Amino acid sequence: MNEKIIIGRGTKYPLNGILSLPDNCSSRVPAVVLVHGSGPADMDESIGANKPFRDIAEGLSTKGIAVLRYDKRTKIYGKQMLKASPGDVTVKSETIEDAILAAELLKNDGRIDPDQVYILGHSLGGMLAPRIDAEGGDFAGIIICAGSPRLFSDILLSQNEDMLGQLPKLLQRIANKQITGLKAKFAAIAGMNEEEAKQMKVFGKTYAWYFKEMDAHPAADYLSKTEKPVLILQGDKDFQVSTEKDFALYQQICIDKPNISFKLYPGLNHLFMKSVYGRVKDFKKEYKIPQKVSAEVWADIAEWILSQ
């Protein structure tokens, strides 16, 4: 059963969303807030022909768990935010504030168990999930799907370097110059003050302050402090974050944390769907193929939530 809802009703940035409820809501049920990856995204986190958040919501609701998904603020108000103060946009205004509002909405819904509201962050949303919890989400537990404890700038450079190695020689030379320029910009960010960072564009419409503000809140710090249950999931064919650089680093950081569980899925990509091409340069082709999030993934998430 799906209900249309609004996140942030009465605020400057109200967002449309859907609350997926189990068919039987005679008692209070656990619930999950879904938090998007990078870039503007709709409530289904539509990527190419795929809708991973819709798949997860539909799957978890069959297991007795409510799921709240909503349009990302930059999807609906991106132009407005950039026009008002382009250098001020950070993950706090882009993602964190709305995820906290979503958690509050669920906790105030009489059909939801307020002590069993979880966050599931995908990609950048997974990186931010422990921070969202600490800054006001106050969730019962944290689910990180295809996230990373590295700096966001490091991940972007890794993706670009992976792409570089898969290009023909002529294009490699052109791309290499672009990557060198990007490295120089990222290296300069640490020495900037806030005002300088708000003035310098890194690429497109993204300013240095977006990265500097995020770098000041490393995911590893939140994970090392939390005593809440955490589930970290990744596909081993993910070409946007890596098993060696990201999943293994999570395991290393959390080695003495019995509250943190891990699962790696053979053959699945960044969307937890079957890998087809397995190369970052083919990501557009890969995501144009209509697929579904592996049922094993949402079944594992449901089992973990219901065991808490």
- Dist. CA 119–CA 213, nearest whole Å: 22
Active site residue 270: yes
Q: In this structure, is the dihedral angle defined by the CA atoms of residues 124, 126, 130 and 136, taken in order, positive or negative?
A: positive
Q: Which two tokens stand for residue 238?
A: 């993910």
The torsion region of residue 207 among left (phi > 0), alpha (psi -120 to 50) and beta comes to beta
- Given the residues 42, 71, 238, 246, select the one marked as catalytic: 238
- Given the residues 123, 148, 275, 294, select the one marked as catalytic: 123
Strand-pairing partners, residue 15, are 7
Strand-pairing partners, residue 235, are 265
Strand-pairing partners, residue 6, are 16
Active site residue 215: no
Helices (H), the chain: 52-62, 73-84, 91, 97-107, 124-132, 152-165, 169-189, 194-199, 208-215, 219-225, 248-253, 283-288, 295-306
Active site residue 36: no
Tell me whether strands 141-145 and 29-35 are parallel, antiparallel or unpaired: unpaired
- Given the residues 36, 122, 217, 270, select the one marked as catalytic: 270
Report, as residue numbers or ranges, the catalytic residues: 123, 238, 270
